[in-house]
Structure 1
Amino acid sequence: MRLLLTGGSGMVGRNFLEHPDSSSFDVLSPASSELNLFDYHAVENYLLQNKPDIIIHAAGRVGGIQANIRQPVRFLLENLDMGRNIVWAARKAGIKQFINLGSSCMYPRDTLNPLKEELVLKGELEPTNEGYALAKITTARLCQYITSEDSTYQYKTLIPCNLYGRWDKFAPVYAHLIPAVIRKIHEAKVQGKNTVTIWGEGTARREFMLASDFASCLIRAVNHFETLPAMMNVGIGRDYTIDEYYKAIAEIVGYKGSFVHDHSKPAGMKQKIVDISKQIAWEWQAKTSLCEGITATYKFFIENYVAQIVC
């Protein structure tokens, strides 16, 4: 099977390519210099020339709460352009199978958790990442519309919970919660700081999955595409408070200081955990515990990023 993976240099893409079972596919993972997702005609020509059997769209402009607040235009336009171009070019090129990656940011901010797939577009979005969410919703809807017009085109969307792991971004201006906290607490330990600041009250709840586990889900999605639901959450089935993530990371890093809360900073949605009923029925579950995942991610951070940090 010839498989086109967009975003092969990102966290999801690299974890997919590192998965031992990915070698069973003929994987195309072009760099942006080879496939410019912002150029529709270039995307369509690439698909016509290479004729993949299935596409996994993992490319995207991603970042944590700081990056989304600072650059909403960029997060909206870039993700919208990439999503629209690859999905519509795939349809025009006659590619029948497509796996689009959404985000739990697509769900309304004030709704009951766990978040069911049917809740998309059922309420107001979280303002801190609204642009990114709108782009992801539009791309998912385009996939649904294409399938509804012609059922021979099966364009499906997976909605993962928050991800972390190898190849994550650890720079504060771009990082999501876990990599940002790993770096913050590591630096506090090295610099001998007595306290570390947590944004908000620390009571907001989040669900995180190790990216290598999600890569395993993607492998299964390709191999069992026919049984894959049209839209499906992918999660671990439990969440933790922000305070609990800080404490877990501090224990693994070996930081002995204390935490203070900055109530003036935004914390985002009060809770965000996805409903995994469809995933369980599809017979897949993540295997890595939070402690194992953070330990592996901290090891990757030490081996690949610490030398670049000026403390």
Structure 2
Amino acid sequence: MTTQATRPVLLITGAGGMVGRNLLDHPDIAGWQVLAPSSRDLDLCDKAATEAWIARHRPDAVIHAAGLVGGIQANLAQPVRFLTANTEMGLNLVQACRQAGVGTLINLASSCMYPRDLGDGLAEDLVLTGMLEPTNEGYALAKIVTMRLCQYAMREDPDLAYKTLIPCNLYGKWDKFDPARSHLIPAIIHKVHQAQVTGAPTVEIWGDGTARREFMYAGDLADAVMRALADPAALPDTLNIGPGHDHSINDYYAAVARVIGWQGSFVHDLDRPVGMKRKLLDVARQTDWGWAPATTLEQGIRATYDFYQEHHA
């Protein structure tokens, strides 16, 4: 029987966020002694404090899931904050782990690191081959810097396993549903639920709704991360994580409406920003790794809506 004293120690940054909470819910987490400090206990933007914390606790492995995140509105309103905060978090944590001799770090990046004009077939070696999407450029730059630092660390010390997973867009339990801060699917859930409750006959969609996005249920990402953690040496330096297929914005609105049971109609505001027309990951490396997400879109929306009703509605 494995006791707490004999289990390896795992630090999860951002454990209070959507990805972190889904990691804590994963059954394989029981094999680890988990450290899940809040940002008050471990301020990753404070270099000295981060170095001291890591040196004191010396985890066997780290999952870096912390970050300042938000939708188009938030990124456009505060680009300086999204660039500086996320860069500081990544650089301070990776450097502190190197100094403390932490051998394994799973760094969670973002598909927004890919050039804006490629659309689909976004393979891992295409990062830094073109211009970024302006609506979240600061966040993307920060994620690229952290990914590169992990690669450089392994170049200098081949014994390190500092690997980067690049998930597609995420949604799920513990998501943010505030329209000012939320991403697409939780924002749609909130809007359509409000329309259902108030009897509103229409719901507004930004743009014409034809832009396509790839989304994955956050519980599936947690499964991929735990698998990566079990054998980090088997991972390439960078690995896309996603279903490998996408849907239009209109499709996501229609799927949420079906789950909620709202039968109104949608109207399009063509003056609103919509970001990239398409952003679809190439999951060939993921397929070679032998993993794929298990949750269908409607299953994920149903679970997320149930969570929304319990905690937010």
Q: Structure 2-normalised TM-score?
A: 0.96
1:33 Cα offset (Å)? 2.0
Matches within 5 A, 1:285-300: 285-300=292-307
Alignment size in residue pairs: 306
Which of 279, 282, 291 is the aligned partner of 2:289?
A: 282
For residue 49 of structure 1, what is the amino acid of its counterpart? Answer: R
Task: Give the partner amino acid of 1:93.
Answer: A
Alignment counterpart, residue 60 of structure 1, candidates 48, 64, 67: 67
Stretch moving more, 105-114 or 170-179:
105-114
Whether the aligned pair in 1 keeps the contact of 2:19 and 2:218 (CA below 8 Å) is yes
**Residue 142 (structure 2) pairs with residue 135 (structure 1):** yes
1:77 aligns with 2:84: yes
Q: Distance in 1 between matches of 2:291 and 2:60?
A: 23
**Distance (Å, rounded) in 1 between the aligned partners of 2:246 and 2:121:** 10
- For 2:29 and 2:111, locate their aligned partners in 1 and report how far apart those are by CA, in whole Å: 25
Segment of structure 1 superposing worse, 93-102 or 118-127: 93-102
CA distance in 1, matches of 2:45, 2:92: 7
Partner secondary structure for residue 250 of structure 1: helix
Matched, 1:107 2:99: no
Q: Does the residue aligned with 1:260 lie in a helix, a strand or coil?
A: strand
Alpha-carbon deviation of 1:114? Answer: 2.0
Runs of 4 or more above 2 Å deviation? none
Deviation track 1:7-42 (CA, whole Å, cap 9, x = no partner) reads 000000000001111011111111122211111111
Q: Kindly provide the CA deviation profile for residues 108-166 of structure 1, in whole angstroms up to 9, marking residues without a partner as x.
A: 00015121001100000000000100100011111111111221122110000001000
2:280 pairs with one of 273, 282, 289: 273
Alignment of 1:181-192 (within 5 A): 181-192=188-199
What is aligned with 1:309?
none
Amino acid at match of 1:135: A
Q: Match of 1:161?
A: 168
Question: Does the CA contact (< 8 Å) of 2:175 and 2:186 recur in 1?
Answer: yes
Q: TM-score with structure 1 length normalisation?
A: 0.97
1:43 is aligned, of 36, 43, 50, to: 50
**Uncovered stretches (5+) of structure 2, i.e. residues with no partner:** 1-7
Question: What do residues 152-185 of structure 1 show as CA deviations (whole Å, max 9, x unaligned)?
Answer: 1221100000010000000000000000000001
Cα RMSD between the aligned structures? Answer: 0.8
Q: Which deviations, in whole Å up to 9, do the C-alpha atoms of 1:75-110 show, x marking residues without a partner?
A: 111101101100111111111211111000000000
In 1, Cα distance between equivalents of 2:224 and 2:212: 24
Could you tell me which residue of structure 2 aligns to residue 18 of structure 1?
A: 25
SS in 1 for 2:268: strand
Match of 2:128 in 1: 121
Write the distance in 2 (CA, Å) between the matches of 1:91 and 1:133.
Answer: 23
Residue 303 of structure 1 aligns to a residue in which SS? helix
